[in-house]
């Protein structure tokens, strides 16, 4: 045990000393350099393009039609003719929007307009799921 300690001391004495800047956890400074991190204030703002992409809008339009069908079923079970009419109109709007997105006409729109369509789909989805009377103008 003493011989091992003496051998280790003699080997350590033969190695040149390295500064703290040269080694980081056993690596040389050239191997372990950190990449600069971009501050959150310097990053590009998300324009919402992924949420307003054609596949995302297609899924939302399909969900809207399903919600409108559920709303129509609720109106029929309540036996309220005015709610049935409003639910039928909501279903027609939902189907028209689904036809448009399936035809690919929304893919040619700029991102800002697709975001507005996304907002409209979210609003109609909320109306369909809430069970409240859909305003007809």
pLDDT averaged over 10-residue windows placed end to end, the chain, 137 residues: 50 52 52 67 60 86 93 88 88 93 88 90 89 66
User: What pLDDT is recorded for position 96?
Assistant: 94
User: What pLDDT is recorded for position 14?
Assistant: 55
SS3 104: coil
Q: What is the pTM of this model?
A: 0.61
User: What pLDDT is recorded for position 6?
Assistant: 45
Is residue 115 within 8 Å of residue 52, measured between CB atoms?
yes
Rounded distance between C-alpha atoms, residue 32 and residue 38, angstroms = 18
User: What pLDDT is recorded for position 121?
Assistant: 92
User: What pLDDT is recorded for position 70?
Assistant: 92
Rounded distance between C-alpha atoms, residue 98 and residue 84, angstroms = 21
């Amino acid at each position: 045990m003493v011989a091992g300690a003496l051998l280790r001391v003699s080997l350590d004495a033969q190695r040149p000393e390295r500064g703290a800047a040269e080694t980081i956890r056993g690596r040389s400074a050239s191997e372990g350099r950190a990449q600069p991190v971009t501050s959150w204030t310097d990053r590009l703002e998300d324009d919402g393009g992924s949420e307003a992409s054609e596949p995302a809008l297609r899924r939302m339009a399909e969900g809207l039609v399903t919600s409108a069908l559920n709303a129509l079923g609720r109106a029929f079970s309540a036996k309220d003719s005015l709610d049935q009419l409003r639910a039928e109109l909501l279903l027609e709007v939902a189907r028209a929007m689904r036809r448009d997105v399936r035809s690919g006409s929304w893919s040619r729109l700029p991102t800002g307009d697709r975001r507005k369509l996304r907002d409209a789909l979210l609003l109609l989805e909320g109306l369909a799921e809430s069970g409240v009377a859909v305003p007809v103008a």
